[in-house]
Amino acid sequence: QLQLQESGPGLVKPSETLSLTCTVSGGSISSSTYYWGWIRQPPGKGLEWIGSVFHTGRTHYNPSRKSRVTISVDTSKKQFSLKVRSVTAADTAVYYCARISSGTYFEMIDYWGQGTLVTVSS
Amino acid sequence: DIQMTQSPSSLSASVGDRVTITCRASQSINTYLNWYQQKPGKAPKLLIYAASSLQSGVPSRFSGSGSGTDFTLTISSLQPEDFATYYCQQSHSDPTFGQGTRLEIK
pLDDT at A105 over 90: no
Query: What confidence tier does B10 reach under pLDDT thresholds 50, 70, 90?
Result: very high
What is the number of helices (H) and of strands (E) in chain B?
0, 11
Q: Mean pLDDT across the stretch A4-33?
A: 96
> How far is the CA of B19 from the CAs of A24, A98, B6, B14, B79, in angstroms?
36, 28, 14, 9, 11
Query: What confidence tier does A79 reach under pLDDT thresholds 50, 70, 90?
Result: very high
For residue B50, the chain A residue with the least C-alpha distance is A106
- How high is the pLDDT of residue A66? 86
Q: Do B97 and A47 touch (CB under 8 A)?
A: yes
3-state secondary structure of B82: helix
Q: Do B94 and A114 touch (CB under 8 A)?
A: no
Q: Mean pLDDT across the stretch B9-35?
A: 97
- How high is the pLDDT of residue A83? 98
Which one of B31, B34, B87 has the shortest CB-CB distance to A105?
B31
Closest alpha carbon to A52 in A66, A10, A105, A115: A66
Are residues A79 and A62 in contact, defined by beta-carbon separation less than 8 angstroms? no
Q: Do B94 and A115 touch (CB under 8 A)?
A: no
- How high is the pLDDT of residue A104? 80
Closest alpha carbon to B96 in B18, B33, B15: B33
- How high is the pLDDT of residue A26? 95
- How many CA atoms are closer than 13 Å to the CA of A33, on its beta-carbon side? 7
Which three-class secondary structure string do you get for chain A?
CCEEEEECCCEECCCCCEEEEEEEECCCCCCCCEEEEEEEECCCCCCEEEEEECCCCCEEECCCCHHHEEEEEECCCCEEEEEECCCCHHHCEEEEEEEEEECCCCEEEEEECCCEEEEECC
